[in-house]
Structure 1
């Protein structure tokens, strides 16, 4: 691909897509891709133990070659995570992941929605939160954070017992906290079987300057979305503020297939973006 190609980035045909349902007895839980990154025709270091085509007749030995695949996307995201950990050594993995997701883009270099290789418009089931932007991730403004125990409680909610969870930790852990899996403090909101209405809780941590953020919602088709409170005022670094998002089906026929929207918290400088994915029951 040449510099200045229109449109770019685009979603490669080989990229995996969502949704991926977790069968736990909780109909509200599923996962989709979190992020997308460059993975087509990436110039990368290459072993000189064999030729670039991996064929016996290929006797060429090269230090670099052009490679394509999700294994090329992974180093871009890993490198971004390493960059953030260097800048912010105390950040948790969840905070780093949040910064990467909430600062990603969902438009191409024509300022149009992202497309696939066949030039069809794609959804968060293809790109997750969006296309990674390392420079923006260095200054996300706010992050959705999670602790180690939050993940253990998440395992409990998935049905793992204490014996299974003990494989991840050195000491016993009792599953005493009952949480709704939709309330896992994740940088996206996903409700695949919405019947009536549901209220989802999230917590944001200020990792930037003192600022006031206002909620901006793009409603998924056929649904209503209410955010409370609509304004979050942060007066110090590491301060946390919680908010609720209530989703309700207004037109079940319209939302019978997956519909997509977004929630953005903006202070005029930072835009902390989360995808919203809904499907009526």
Structure 2
């Protein structure tokens, strides 16, 4: 193979792991309002989903109100019953299983409907979250590439799927999968995504579910939009009332109407994980440390005669309550409330508790909050680029599912509630499709910049976005901020990039392997090289004493004037020259210089360009220093 013309490298194939009714409202997407109106609900845009396939007969993929695909579409459909104007193409790749690209896992159906599920009325899951379901871009087209099975995703299939999607003519690619950080020349997602970017296709990827550990983020290439996961302002409330009258607000997917909220004996077994229980728990409410296998634990408690179960978050999970189906009366508590109930049960002679189910509660504050499992920066592959880029809803998200869940009888309208950066990512791919529909001439970097610089850095209580400990979330946790779709469609200024910019960045990062990423021979001496900090990125990772230039393009109104506002990182002085940008026309470019003096390692701040209509915000993080 190595002797054949054009050969760059061969590397072993690896298995890469897989990483709603209310989220449109939470993100300001409503019919006739916000970004849904100018984008025509994403009409004409094709979203490619690389995942576990699709349950094609789910009503989320009906094509009511959706026109035929654009003439550029070159794909095919491997479903025996064919496709429609919503689901315009589907293919299965070898390691994902033979036959049609049917989804026997659920992951692909869930992510596809989150990105672009059509409107489905009168839906619910576990008797909760009732209403009308819709994805972010309800009238966009979907192209499905089955590259994953329940055991994971073959790297060769991912790369083949990305290349096939590019040939087919998709506009946005969504991948809710990824492995641990690795050099880009060994990463099939980074390689395939670069090829897609060259063709004007934005690739969005999950940042990973290995948080809150630092430097756990994956899919870090700067040409990828890397997505973190956060909460929404909705709880599925189950109130725990202790024998002393104290109430603790928990959550549960299992809220049987037949369960009476009477006070029962409360027990915390010798095995706090409740992996082994006996008849001593009969008729009691059982406390169990949450370990992620709530279904098995609840089944064991039910067999032993327990009346209900209360799962307790550990310190790592903090305030992030990740719900799982356990088909048993239950509540799950934050670490703070878990600590309270442990003190109560260990200091009370006859502890008791009752559980009251309150169903779906909206308007919960604070929200969004970064979920504990969401992977964190700094990036290992490219520490000079701030990753993740953006956060979106990923905690307890409801979307389409191929089979019935819980004890419900929803028929074709089956929905499930699950969590992960896998759930956050399709929110962003759907929003990117809306922006692409409203601005068809924008580059992938322009769309990405618009999403990042218009994002929210405060929650619904107008205070800074928090993390799972309810401390202010760092940029390495939430990215530039939480996505705000309507603002992203009208960002004012954008930080644009083309393929040659990325090649110069790669030459500065590691000149020896650039050709393997871009899949052609590259002379770095011809292209030149730049440092990570010099890439015209919407966020900035800067060392003390550094000076960098950035160029912005006016996509707002002619004759707009922007003045700089700097919130300097702790211990740093940041100067911006010039302090005012005067634009005379649309698409005009202006360059400015940022200089940093001093600053503590990891200190954070921001640079804002402010006009009468827009605030264009870029995070600043200090690297190096003390």
Q: Give the shorter-chain TM-score range.
A: 0.7 to 0.9
The answer on 1:52 being equivalent to 2:405 is yes
Alignment partner, residue 79 of structure 1: 430
**Higher relative CO (CA 8 A, sep ≥ 6), structure 1 or 2?**
1
The answer on 1:123 being equivalent to 2:470 is no
Alignment partner, residue 515 of structure 2: 165
- Verify the 8 A CA contact 1:22 1:30 in the aligned structure 2: no
Deviation at 1:90, TM superposition (A): 1.2
Deviation at 1:40, TM superposition (A): 1.1
Q: Please point out which of 106, 130, 146 is paired with 2:457.
A: 106
* Alignment map for 1:1-281 (pairs within 5 Å): 1=235, 2-22=361-381, 29-48=384-403, 51-52=404-405, 63-161=414-512, 164-165=514-515, 168-169=518-519, 172-175=521-524, 176=526, 177-191=528-542, 194-195=543-544, 197-210=545-558, 211-249=560-598, 255=600, 257-281=601-625
Cα RMSD, aligned residues only: 2.1
Deviation at 1:186, TM superposition (A): 0.2
2: CA distance, partners of 1:32 / 1:263: 17
- Verify the 8 A CA contact 1:22 1:29 in the aligned structure 2: no
- How many aligned positions are there? 262
- Verify the 8 A CA contact 2:385 2:532 in the aligned structure 1: no
Secondary structure at 2:518's aligned position in 1? coil
Secondary structure at 2:605's aligned position in 1? strand
1: CA distance, partners of 2:472 / 2:384: 25
Residues 146-180 of structure 1: CA deviation (Å, up to 9, x unaligned): 01111111221121447x426525x6432121323
2: CA distance, partners of 1:279 / 1:178: 21
Alignment partner, residue 259 of structure 2: none
1: CA distance, partners of 2:507 / 2:434: 32
1: CA distance, partners of 2:374 / 2:472: 15
- Verify the 8 A CA contact 1:201 1:243 in the aligned structure 2: yes
2: CA distance, partners of 1:180 / 1:118: 34
- Verify the 8 A CA contact 1:249 1:280 in the aligned structure 2: no
Deviation at 1:58, TM superposition (A): 10
Deviation at 1:32, TM superposition (A): 2.2
1: CA distance, partners of 2:439 / 2:409: 45
2: CA distance, partners of 1:30 / 1:141: 23
- Verify the 8 A CA contact 1:98 1:144 in the aligned structure 2: yes
Unaligned runs of 5+ in 1: none
Residues 232-262 of structure 1: CA deviation (Å, up to 9, x unaligned): 0111111100000000106xxxx1x410000
Deviation at 1:97, TM superposition (A): 0.3
Provide TM-score, normalisation by structure 2: 0.40
- Verify the 8 A CA contact 2:385 2:533 in the aligned structure 1: no
Unaligned runs of 5+ in 2: 1-234, 236-360
Deviation at 1:31, TM superposition (A): 3.5
Secondary structure at 1:31's aligned position in 2? coil
1: CA distance, partners of 2:570 / 2:398: 41
Secondary structure at 2:541's aligned position in 1? strand
Residues 20 and 94 of structure 1: CA distance in aligned 2, closer, same or farther (over 3 Å): same
Structure with max Cα Rg: 2
- Verify the 8 A CA contact 1:261 1:276 in the aligned structure 2: yes
Residues 90 and 161 of structure 1: CA distance in aligned 2, closer, same or farther (over 3 Å): farther
